[in-house]
Amino acid sequence: FMESQHHLGSAVHASILAAYAALILGIRWISGPLFRWIDRLFFREAYSTEQVMAELADNVRTVVEPGELFSTLGQRLSQALHIEQIAFFLSGDHGFQPAYALGTTAAAFNADSAPVRRLAAEREPIQLFLDDDQCWCYHQDVAPADRDHLVQLGTQVLLPFTSNRGLVGFASLGPKRSQEPYSRNDLRLLQSIANQAGLALENG
């Protein structure tokens, strides 16, 4: 009787091990294609975004009417990077006036405001981290009204449009719907788009 129990226990133990092994193999069999599908989807999305933005940089230079330019940029950037809040500002006699806005309300920036001076000096995309009290937007030289305006816009990136005449306009880009930060590649492509937009504004 004891020997029979021993054999029964061994059989149960072997069955459990076999079931566990089958489960592991099943998970691997299912997860393998699943992970490969996720990888392909992510790569395709990343490639599609880069392709759209690269094409946008090539096409922007041919648009010389500011309203059409900002409308095109706003719609395409919103689609490519999944941004819901975008605002464009154009240099004028009374500072930088809002020229186009998507998902937000914009007001003018004075020509001598800290954000404008910083954009004119750096001539490249500037990131803002509004939840970090060490961010440059909390420095003493930034007027509270300008800071409040950036908060209202949900600004995470300021994108300058420059030409031989200097800063001719800029864009405020809000957060992505994914809440992911802007990557170095995003900023590189945005810089390329901004360069062409600056030339188009100068020609316009």
* Of 126, 117, 111, residue with least CA distance to 171: 126
Segment holding 60, helix H or strand E: helix 2-60
pLDDT tens sequence for the chain (204 residues): 444 544 445 555 556 555 555 555 554 454 455 444 444 444 444 445 566 666 666 666 666 677 888 888 888 888 888 899 999 999 988 899 999 999 998 999 999 999 999 999 999 999 999 888 888 988 888 999 999 999 999 999 999 999 888 899 999 999 998 888 898 888 988 998 888 888 888 776
Query: How many angstroms separate the CA atoms of 35 and 51, rounded?
Result: 24
* Of 118, 140, 141, residue with least CA distance to 128: 118
182: which DSSP letter?
P
In which residue are the tokens 């390329």 written?
Answer: 192
| Alpha helix stretches (DSSP H) within 123-183 | 144-153
